Structure 1
């Protein structure tokens, strides 16, 4: 039976922290992609043109209802056969961002629908251009409502980053598996990875709760 070794933890910690940095990068960049693309989906789905809403709704539902891991495999292993090749980390960022954009689109939709009808009427009464109505009146109020929910999706994405190890992204889990395969000792690497996830995700969730209370006030 293996016994815990703090010396071994000290030896492997630098490699795990390198993996943590890659995990954080994948989460941050993936979040930016999901926020931007989710807004595009949400606005497209509100278009009066069915020629636009139908294709977008089909794409969104397809992505939302297929597993993230399958999408990552498709991007990493299938697309190169069609001449589209990306580095592992870029593939992971695209996969995470694309997958979660279908969920953030629904968050944006709820936030936009939550803006009081009087705001739309006031913008119309002032003869504001449509673009100005969205940028200065509707979206600022919608964003205020959805920030806490978007933050929860960032945490969920952070916890999903271990899937990127399947496409050779050197995140924490990939580093832990590599170390364990070389030393045949899995207890310390996997445990430290779990602790690092808790150390980051739990305080972040507390900050989001505090932000939510502040926005409500």
Structure 2
């Protein structure tokens, strides 16, 4: 039985995938979003929502509840809040709902709160920071299930997103196999380099051998 794309990405890290994105001519990985609850890597299909400042008027649907309720066990919730760190765009009740749906994690270009609650649920939340200020009366939904911008990268619903302690990457849904092929090949070459170094070879020689084997972009 062949492994699914998510299973194959799960054994990689964002550095390897970023190198593969470079080779595919796609935007590389970025930093700036750190694990705020549990430092577990996450990979899944993007479910997106974009927020904006609240403009007043009658109460509207609570931000992100529809996205949470529509997400499942292969999904990562991706939030565009423009990088704001003065107001939370994710909190404990949302984490509870997401955990109940089996969501793999949250990636927020903004701040989160209720960190201890999310940590107790084991839900990884990657964000720009933490802040206790509520979204109520400060934020509203701009769009859901559409393209968003997160840490300078465009994310479409269904793209594969990954986050770990090194950074954040986006793999367009129509380039998944191509990027996987580059990433898996690079990992195999790096393993070969590491094996040579551990057996006593000089690093320069091991890197040279990798280039002779066809790797013109051996990473650091």
Q: Same fold (TM over 0.5)?
A: no
In terms of Rg, which structure is larger?
A: 1
Larger fraction in strand: 2
Higher relative contact order (CA 8 A, sep 6+): 1
The structure that is helix-richer by fraction is 1
Name the TM tier (shorter chain): under 0.3
